[in-house]
A and B are shown apart, each in its own frame.
Chain A
Amino acid sequence: MGISTLQIFRQGLNSILDQQAGIQRTQQQVSSGKRILDPSDDPAGATRVMSLTDTENITKQYQSNIINLRNRLEAEEAVLSAGGDVMQRINELAIQGLNDSLSANDRASIAKEVRQLTDEMVGLANRKDGSGEYLFAGTRTRIKPFEADNAGGFVYQGDQGQRQVRVAPDRLIAAGNTGFEVFMKIPDGDGGYNSAFSTLYQLATDLEADTPNQDALGKVGLVIDHFLTQRSDVGARQNALDSQERTNDVLVLQLRQTRSDIEDVDIVEAAARLSQQTLSFQAAQQAFVRVQGLSLFNFL
């Protein structure tokens, strides 16, 4: 087959341009660190990367949900802990009130402290979170959950709704317990329920009437037990959160690793390829110059 002079030129030029395009591509890969520069480079890989990125972002959102939820649970736990302390003091006062050597006046002053501590307890039950939402109002977070009634007791105005928070694709964890559950629905030991406030109200009233009784003390004990149960309930959820958080962390790491395996360029391989391409490029340039210099006309 013959060959034309224009064709020699064209071939030389094409091979230089082809080499140049190859170098530019490798250089883009090296500088971006990515093997896939456009979905068309590897359509299956590119969509897989998008899906992995999606999952990673969702999982990060779960992690952020976990942090928010943990804050709420910690706030609740702090209230339950403080409530436990208050109840311990009330327990002491109830025992003290039973002491036969006390006078009615003594009991009246103990009752006074019980009432103060009851107010403190109400304050705890009406605690707000950092953004001004009531912690123990169920879902009615803008309505003060415990309001004094005219009879000296307290009315619960929240509801029984408990918020669930998603911490994994198929896992919801309950946020704070409701005021109904924590303060209103305390087992009375006889198959019924008492509210913490009515127990305290009864205790103070009995003391004021100078009629302390074992029954009231027993109910105080039940409130203490109930608070402990609630705390351990919250604690169990905190543990579940911690463990889910670790699982999510591991998942994020795996997702990143997989994504990197698919989309990242093997730098060592790319660097070797780049130097190989540079070499071929130079060879093509030199060959071009050499071949272009060859002409019979040089000898005429």
Chain B
Amino acid sequence: MASGVLGTAASGLISIQRAISVTGHNISNVNTEGYTKQRVEFGARVPEFSGAGYIGRGVQVKSIERVYDKFLTDNLRSTTSASTQFSTFADYSSRISNILGDADAGLGAVMGNFFNSIQGVADDPASIPARQTMMTEAETMVGRFHALDQQLGAVKNEINQGLDSTIAEINSLSTSIAESNKQIVDARSLAGGNEPNDLLDARDNMINRLAEMVNVSTVSEGDGAINVFIGTGQSLVTRYLSSDLELKPNVYDANKRDIAIVTGGASSIITSSIKGGELGAILDFGNQVLDSSQNALGRIAITLSSRINEQQKLGIDLNNSAGQALFSAPEPKVATNTGNIGSATVSASFDLDNLEDLTTRDYVLEYSGSDWRLTDSQSGELFGMAGDGSAANPFKFDGLSVVVSTGANDGDQYLISPTRNAANDISMVTSDVQEIAAAAPLRIGEQTDANGAPINTGTALMSVQQFEKGFGPVGGPVQMTFDVATNTFNYSGALTGSFAYDPASDSGKDINVSGIVFKITGDPAAGDVFTLAPNTDASGDNTNALALADLQTALTMEGGGASFSESYQQLIGEVGTRTRTAQISADAQTSLQRQAQATRDGKSGVNLDEEAANLLRFQQAYQALAQVVNVANETFQTLINAVGR
């Protein structure tokens, strides 16, 4: 009888020791990230049959369970992915908005200074210091384009390094998860199906960490193994096997990398299906913010330098020569897909007559076997093109002109990045202040005698307004003589023809002769002659400098809807809005993630007070059982003493 009592008590003592040990394990792991508290499940032992019926034989530890809820863990994982994704995106994106939006280090101020310096030249075109200032401001502006482009390039390097380290960590995690699968399956079968709780926690932790890198989904198998998928269902871990991610050179640009998954020795590109986490954020940021910012900056560089160059060519400089380009003209970048089979070459140039239609897109030009298709490299949207791609009639679209040679194979692709490199490629081609073409190419005036005294007797005056691209040509003087009978000016010399001028209605209106726009006011007398002639020594003429300065506010961008600085402001507005949206989402997701964490911890985390209470509970039970042993012992002693007398 006594042995039965002792056995029953001993079973309780042992079980309670186990329970205290589990409590101790819980308390030890109070600060362990991802630890799931464990509970001892007690169960009565199989009773012993006696004449009086079944007598209980005490207690046993049935199992040690994790207090675990799969839904809460999954929820924590998905909110972690989202929160990391948005906050990583916001971090990177705010760097760009910081770089571009800085009042001093951005482009806005230096562009303004450049145009102000042109006004300075217009104020005093012969002044060498004013011209020097304009050259210096132009150099500063070009330097700023380079600096901004380099800063964006630095961020690009950084995200490339980020890709490297993220991919490396994902690979190491997937390997470990596969190993962990094996350990868990082995441990379970060894323990007769009992869960290896701490191993499960460790694996969960690894999957949680993976969720910070990229969106994951998991499928559990009956034997305790877990399969992990990323992207749109690409298998990263299948039982004991893990697939590696690797970075491969982009088919257009070896400096750009794509993400590939290697399964069974075969590598396939999955860049576009990667979503969520740091990896998703880096890819999104690269596509949505970084590339397009660089394109937008390049677009300003292209448009500004081309417009200034064109206007320069419509003037004459201090050396009496026709104006020349101030800036080098960067060309669109065309990259050939490394998988192309055909031998066609594609060359792109800017369509200067439609430069305001330039976009910040990159395009893919693809040969379909019979014709060429143009799509947006990001969205895949299909665009139409004018022309047939020949040198005589090039493809024209969005401010670009593209010539393709024969020899393309079905499926051959070319990537056109019109403005990507422009902010880096722009440079000054002259620093000679004499070459600033401030003066008009032609001068206009009434005829004079040998002494420069007036001959005309009417009150009419003529003044030059502007010169259109391709005006003239005017190699020598053009005499315009008024015929009062028909109210007509007949002109002869370098150009011949006539135009009507009715003093009663046409005074002050612009007259356009072969692209030369001038204004007549007042009443010409019969036979009054005005002369249009090539301009020389007009050091004080600011006609073209004014036209250059007016480019500051001209609507030369965004399809003719924005000036240079407005286009830059739009860029900052866009990056700022993307950053802000990401920040708001990051805040929201972080708060959801914290809630998910709190819910999961509330269920599965260790609470020291709870453990202390359990300790007390177990301690009391242990003391009571000790008392049972004592009583059994004393009872037994009584019997011994009685017998032994």
Contacts and interface: CB of A to CB of B under 8 A. Distances in A.
B328 to A, nearest CB: 26
27 contacts: A1-B603, A2-B603, A3-B601, A7-B597, A7-B598, A7-B601, A7-B605, A10-B601, A14-B594, A39-B573, A40-B90, A42-B576, A43-B580, A44-B573, A50-B565, A53-B103, A64-B116, A64-B123, A138-B540, A139-B539, A141-B126, A149-B451, A156-B451, A161-B440, A161-B543, A193-B454, A194-B453
B605 A58 contact: no
A75 B127 CA distance: 17
Interface in B573-608: 573-577, 579-580, 583, 594, 597-599, 601-608
Interface in A131-157: 131, 133, 137-143, 149, 153-157
A48 B202 CA distance: 52
Nearest to A159: B443
B247 interface: no
B97 A161 contact: no
A180 B90 CA distance: 66
A161 B541 contact: yes
A166 interface: yes
Contact of A143 (B97, B537, B601, B602): B537
B539 A142 contact: yes
Contacts of B19: none
B542 to A, nearest CB: 5
B33 to A, nearest CB: 8
A222 interface: no
A61 B119 contact: yes
Contact of A164 (B546, B601, B603, B610): B546
B605 A139 contact: no
A192 B604 CA distance: 107
Most buried by A among B123, B573, B574: B123
Contacts of A191: 457
Contacts of B615: 300
B124 to A, nearest CB: 6
B540 A39 contact: no
B453 A161 contact: no
A58 B552 contact: yes
Closest 7 CB pairs between A and B? A4-B605, A156-B452, A43-B576, A141-B540, A39-B576, A40-B579, A139-B541
A25 B443 CA distance: 60
A14 B604 CA distance: 20
A15 to B, nearest CB: 11
Given A39-B576, A47-B576, A300-B616, A53 B451 contact: no
Interface string A181-207: 000110000011111001000000000
Contacts of A154: 451
B608 A5 contact: yes
Interface in A80-120: none
Nearest to A172: B546
A165 B454 contact: no
B329 to A, nearest CB: 26
Interface residues of A, number: 70
A6 B601 contact: yes
A27 to B, nearest CB: 18
A300 B614 CA distance: 12
Interface majority SS (helix, strand, loop, mixed), chain A: mixed
B597 A163 contact: no
A77 to B, nearest CB: 18
Interface majority SS (helix, strand, loop, mixed), chain B: helix
A139 B454 contact: no
A296 B113 CA distance: 70
B635 interface: no
B602 A4 contact: yes
A43 B608 contact: no
Given A10-B601, A164-B546, 5 more contacts: A39-B573, A43-B574, A51-B566, A133-B126, A165-B123
Contacts of B445: 159-161, 180
A251 interface: no
Contacts of A149: 451
A296 B615 CA distance: 11
Contact of B570 (A47, A57, A166, A296): A47
Contacts of B157: none
Interface of A: 1-7, 10-11, 14, 38-44, 46-47, 50-51, 53-54, 57-58, 61-62, 64-65, 68-69, 131, 133, 137-143, 149, 153-166, 169, 172, 180, 184-185, 191-195, 198, 295-297, 300
Contact of B583 (A40, A46, A157): A40
A64 B553 CA distance: 18
A153 B448 CA distance: 15
B606 A5 contact: yes
Given A39-B575, A40-B580, A159 B538 contact: yes
A139 B608 CA distance: 92
B580 to A, nearest CB: 5
Interface string B609-633: 1101101100000000000000000
B450 interface: yes
Interface string B185-206: 0000000000000000000000
Contacts of A164: 542-543, 546
A194 B580 CA distance: 72
B557 interface: no
Given A4-B605, A11-B598, A295-B612, A163 B576 contact: no
Interface string B444-475: 11101011111001000001100000000000
Nearest to B604: A4
Contacts of B539: 133, 139-142
B570 to A, nearest CB: 7
Contact of A51 (B30, B569, B599): B569
B282 interface: no
Contacts of A57: 109, 112-113, 116
Nearest to B619: A300
A125 B305 CA distance: 41
Nearest to B574: A43
A64 B115 CA distance: 13
B101 interface: yes
A57 B113 CA distance: 8
A14 B597 CA distance: 13
A277 B440 CA distance: 64
A64 B118 CA distance: 12
Interface string B15-30: 0000000000000001
A114 to B, nearest CB: 19
A153 B453 CA distance: 11
